[in-house]
Amino acid sequence: MKHNRNIHKSIYILLSLAGLVILAVIAQNVIIAESASKSLTAEIKKDCFSFTLPDSNIAGGIRLRLKSAIAIDNATKKVLYCYNADKIWPIASISKLLTAMVVLDHYRPDTIIAISKEDSRQSSRSLFRTGEKVKARDLLHAALMQSDNRAARALARSVAGTLDKFVVMMNKKAKDLEMLNTIMYEPTGLDERNSSTAAECAKLVNAAMIQYPEIARITSLRSYTFKPMNRRNSRRLVNTNKLVYSKYRVCAGKTGFINESAYCLTTVLENGSGRKVTVVVLGAPGPQTRFREARRLATFAFSKPG
C-alpha cells in the first residue's frame, strides 16, 4: 500500500510539473503573440507615409488652377509643393481607396455578388444592372478603375451587411492610418460630406500602394475586361486616371468628381529614373484641367531635388 502511495505521489508530482511546463509555454506564446501584434501595429504606422507638412504654402515657381494640392518626394518624404494642403475638402470617389482597403481586409475574389436595388439607387452611371451577378474581383476593378458606384456599394454590402456598418469600418481604417481630418459617410464618394485634405489623400494613396498591392496593381492598369456571371457579353473597363497614358508610370491612384468637390486626383508617379513622387490635386475646375495640372505639378516636383 505504501508502495502504491509513493507511485501515486510521483505521478501527481509529474503531472504538476507537466502542468507548469504547459502554463509556461502558453505564457510564452501569449508574450510572442503580443510582441507580434505590437510589431504589426508599428509596421502599419511605418506604412502610414508620415511626412511633415510645412507651416505655410510652398508654391513658388508654379501656379495651378485648383483649390488645394501637394507634391511629395516618396524617398525622402520631403514636401516639394503644397497649397492649402491642410484644407478640408470633399474628395468624391477618392473615398473608394478606403472602400477597397476594407474590402481587401475581407477579400474573397471569387465570391459572386448580385447587384441589388439598393446598390442601384441614385448611383449615377454604372456598368451594372440590377440583378446582375458579378465576381468580387471584377467589382473591385470596376470600383477602382472606372469609379463605379454600384460596384462599390455591392462590395461594401457583401462585407458588412449594411452600408452603415461598412462606413464604421471605413472610418476606423482612416483612424488607423492617422488620417485625423478624414471622415466618411458612405462608400462611393457621392456624399459631399466624405471629406479629407490633400495631405491626407497623399497619405491614403501611399498606404493603399504599400499595404495593398492589389490596389496598386488595379489602379495602374489602362483597361480590364470581364464578364458578369449571368450575361453573355464581356465588358471592358477603362481607367479614369488619364495619367496612365502619360510619360510617367502610375504606381497607384484614384480620381474623384462630384459637383461639390470639382475634379480631384491622388496618385503616385514614377519617372524614367525610378524616382517616385506623390501628387494630389483637389478642386480643379475641369476634367482635363485636373490631369494637366497634375502633370505640371509632377514635372515641377521631379525637377526639384529630394
Residue with cell 509632377: 298
pTM for this model (two decimals):
0.84
User: Which three three-digit cell numbers place residue 287?
Assistant: 476634367
Give the 3-state secondary structure percentages of the chain, helix then strand then coil, rounded to 5: 45, 20, 35
Q: Which residues contact 148 (CB under 8 A, 6 or more apart)?
A: 126, 127, 128, 139, 142
pLDDT of residue 25: 36
Annotated active-site residue 37? The verdict is: no
Residue 181 phi/psi, 5-degree rounding, is -110, 20
Tell me the three-class secondary structure of 62-100, residue by residue: CCCCCCEEEEEECCCCCEEEEECCCCCEECHHHHHHHHH
Catalytic residue among 68, 93, 95, 220: 93
**Beta bridge partners of residue 169, listed in sequence order:** none
Q: Given 67, 68, 95, 96, which residue is catalytic?
A: 96
Domain 68-303 has CATH 3.40.710.10: yes
Count of H-run helices and E-run strands, the chain: 9, 11
pLDDT at 147: 97
Question: How far is Cα 292 from Cα 197, in angstroms, rounded to an integer?
Answer: 20
> What are the structural domain ranges in the chain?
1-46, 68-303
Length of the chain: 306
Cα distance between residue 70 and residue 206, in whole Å: 13
Verify whether residue 196 is a known catalytic residue. no
CB-CB contact of 75 with 275 (8 Å):
yes
Crossing angle (nearest 10°) for helices 96-104 and 198-211: 30
CB atoms within 10 A of CB 46: 10
Active site residue 304: no
Query: What pLDDT was estimated at residue 51?
Result: 93
Q: Look up residue 226 and give its amino acid.
A: F
Question: Of 126, 147, 195, 196, which residue is the catalytic one?
Answer: 147
Neighbours of 222 (CB within 10 A): 13
Give the Cα separation of 160 and 166 in Å (integer): 5
Print pLDDT tens along the chain (306 aa): 444 454 445 544 544 544 444 434 334 543 333 443 333 333 334 456 889 999 899 988 899 999 999 999 999 999 999 999 999 999 999 999 999 999 999 999 999 999 999 999 988 789 999 999 999 999 999 999 999 999 999 999 999 999 999 999 999 999 999 999 999 999 999 999 999 999 999 999 999 999 999 999 999 999 999 999 998 899 999 999 999 999 999 999 999 999 999 999 999 999 999 999 999 999 999 999 999 999 999 999 999 998
